[in-house]
Amino acid sequence: IVASFHRKVLAGKRVLVTAGPTFEPIDPVRGITNLSSGKMGYAIARAAREAGAEVTLVSGPTALTTPYGVHRINVQTAQQMHDVVISHIRDEDVFIAVAAVADWKVVNASEQKLKKNTEGDAPQLQFEQNPDILAEVAALPHKPFCVGFAAESENLLQYGEEKRRKKGIPLLVGNIGHQTFGKDDNELVLFDERGHRRLPLASKQNLARQLIAEIAERL
């Protein structure tokens, strides 16, 4: 890994990374989000930059510092993340979708703050599916090299390979523990057309460097 970073394996390449959770409003002061901290995505953006790439990071709400030399664009909703990604994608060589994107948005979000009422009625939220950013990018005629992530709670080896094929991508990264959210360490499994390979427990920054080396070999 160290050797590949001395060689700047991604020099001259442009890499777009999504990271963090998304936030889907219910009203002006409330919304639906998830437990993604953004740490894995930020570590990957940092590793790609260290490897010589020009890196754009499209980030949902996180408490993290922008990695050195990385161009960060902040978004809240899945739709905003989609629009930013699609407007940048034609210049990119690699797309790494690390964000935990909300699968649904609230279509009847209120323009004003919802108020409790004396009857104790709860608001009725209606949902609609969000665009699948990764699947859309992977279907473009001039697509970048696409890498997906999958957080599964069971059957990772089966679901991981199925998800890779369903999304039409050459490389998918599964989290072995689904308790990865917020942690500094992780264990990954890489799925490609040849099968799967484990990256044992290590810091997210170390795993990010290994993943960047794996991606660079495949370009």
Q: Which residues bind Ca ion (CB under 5 A)?
A: 103
Residues that bind ligand CTP (CB under 6 A): 18, 78, 97, 99, 101, 103, 130, 132-134, 148-151, 163
3-state secondary structure the chain: CHHHHHCCCCCCCEEEEEECECCEEEECCEEECCCCCCHHHHHHHHHHHHCCCEEEEEECCCCCCCCCCCEEEECCCHHHHHHHHHHHHHHCCEEEECCECCCEEECCCCCCCCCCCCCCCCCCCCEEECCCHHHHHHCCCCCCEEEEEEECCCCHHHHHHHHHHHHCCCEEEEECCCCCCCCCEEEEEEEECCEEEEEEEEEHHHHHHHHHHHHHHHC
**Closer by beta carbon to ligand CTP, 163 or else 204:** 163
Catalytic one of 34, 155, 175, 206: 34
Q: Does the annotation mark 34 as catalytic? A: yes
105 annotated as ligand-binding: no
190, 196 Cβ separation under 8 angstroms: yes
**Closer by beta carbon to ligand CTP, 144 or else 148:** 148
We find the least distance from the C-beta atom of residue 150 to Ca ion, in angstroms, to be 9
Residue type, 95: F
Query: Residue 133's binding partner, choosing from Ca ion, ligand CTP, none, with beta-carbon cut-off 5 to 8 A by kind?
Result: ligand CTP
**Closer by beta carbon to Ca ion, 69 or else 179:** 179
Give the whole-angstrom CA distance, residue 90 versus residue 192: 24
119, 67 Cβ separation under 8 angstroms: no
Query: Residue 91's binding partner, choosing from Ca ion, ligand CTP, none, with beta-carbon cut-off 5 to 8 A by kind?
Result: none
We find the least distance from the C-beta atom of residue 135 to Ca ion, in angstroms, to be 11
Query: Residue 41's binding partner, choosing from Ca ion, ligand CTP, none, with beta-carbon cut-off 5 to 8 A by kind?
Result: none
163 annotated as ligand-binding: yes
**Closer by beta carbon to Ca ion, 27 or else 152:** 152
We find the least distance from the C-beta atom of residue 84 to ligand CTP, in angstroms, to be 12
We find the least distance from the C-beta atom of residue 78 to ligand CTP, in angstroms, to be 5
113 annotated as ligand-binding: yes
Known binding residues for CTP are: 103, 113, 131-134, 149, 163, 167
Report, as residue numbers or ranges, the catalytic residues. 34
